[in-house]
Amino acid sequence: MHNQPEIIYDKQGNAHVIVDYNDDYIGAKLGFWLFLFTEMMIFGSMFLIYAFYMFQFSDTFVQYSATLNVKMGGTNTFILLVSALTMGLSLVRLRQGNVEGAKKFIWATIVLALIFLSIKYFEWSAEIHHGIYPGSPTLKSMGDGAVMFFGLYFVITGLHGIHIILGIGAMIWVLGLVRKGKITPTKFVVLENTALYWDLVHLVWVFVFPLFYLIH
């Protein structure tokens, strides 16, 4: 609305900029960080439930951790690592003025995220094929510890998967904004926030992976 920043003067005559609420870069970023805090609390409380039952059923947790597919999980870890890099580089490219390069890196991230999801899909189908899914009779017969371990496994990785899907949605939306010229090398806060979101998704996986796949 206001293209020129509004300025007022105090008694000593020093100039002070009035922050325009319609176009406030730091505000937008701060708001997004606050949103990330809520995500942090959500996953934080899921890990709290994990820790609670891990303490109670530690032997079972170790036992069933060994049955998870470390190869698939490990591959996914690397995929996410690379995707976080490509997402970061897209921001670097955009700020250097290279819009096309930025778009390419966003596409690369989307492709990596889709690969992540399909590996996850195969992993889950294998487990569901064996009759292991929340509420299944097989799982019930494996005992309380197994119910908790796989319950947590499906809920946390599922929640993480939903975040990946939302992230893909956000990136496609960002690409649309870039095409419409709403994201430019000087107006990049939406892309930066999306990158922050993607880093959080990665961050969660950094903890999910060892806690489920590597404690045996």
Residues 54-73 that bind another protein (CB under 8 A): 55-58, 62, 70
Q: Rounded to whole angstroms, how far apart are CA atoms 176 and 182?
A: 9
Report the residue from 111, 117, 148, 178 that binds another protein according to the rule CB under 8 A: 148
> Applying CB under 8 A, does 157 fall inside the site for another protein?
no
For the bound state, the minimum distance from the C-beta of residue 94 to another protein, rounded and expressed in Å, comes to: 10
For the bound state, the minimum distance from the C-beta of residue 68 to another protein, rounded and expressed in Å, comes to: 12
Interaction residues for another protein, span 14-53 (CB under 8 A): 16-19, 21, 23-27, 30-31, 33-35, 37-42, 44-46, 48-49, 51-53
Report the residue from 130, 179, 182, 216 that binds another protein according to the rule CB under 8 A: 216
Interaction residues for another protein, span 122-141 (CB under 8 A): 134-135, 140
For the bound state, the minimum distance from the C-beta of residue 38 to another protein, rounded and expressed in Å, comes to: 4
For the bound state, the minimum distance from the C-beta of residue 135 to another protein, rounded and expressed in Å, comes to: 3
For the bound state, the minimum distance from the C-beta of residue 79 to another protein, rounded and expressed in Å, comes to: 11
Chain position carrying tokens 């960080």: 33
Question: Closer CB to another protein, residue 23 or residue 108?
Answer: 23
For the bound state, the minimum distance from the C-beta of residue 189 to another protein, rounded and expressed in Å, comes to: 9
Q: Which of 50, 74, 80 is nearest to 200 (CA)?
A: 80
Question: Mind spelling out the 3-state secondary structure of the chain?
Answer: CCCCCEEEECCCCCEEEECCCCCCHHHHHHHHHHHHHHHHHHHHHHHHHHHHHHHHCHHHHHHHHCCCCHHHHHHHHHHHHHHHHHHHHHHHHHHCCCHHHHHHHHHHHHHHHHHHHHHHHHHHHHHHHCCCCCCCHHHHHCCHHHHHHHHHHHHHHHHHHHHHHHHHHHHHHHHHHHHCCCCECCECHHHHHHHHHHHHHHHHHHHHHHHHHCCC
Q: Which x/- pattern over 71-110 shows residues binding another protein (rule: CB under 8 A)?
A: ---x--xx--xx-xx--xx-xx--x---------------
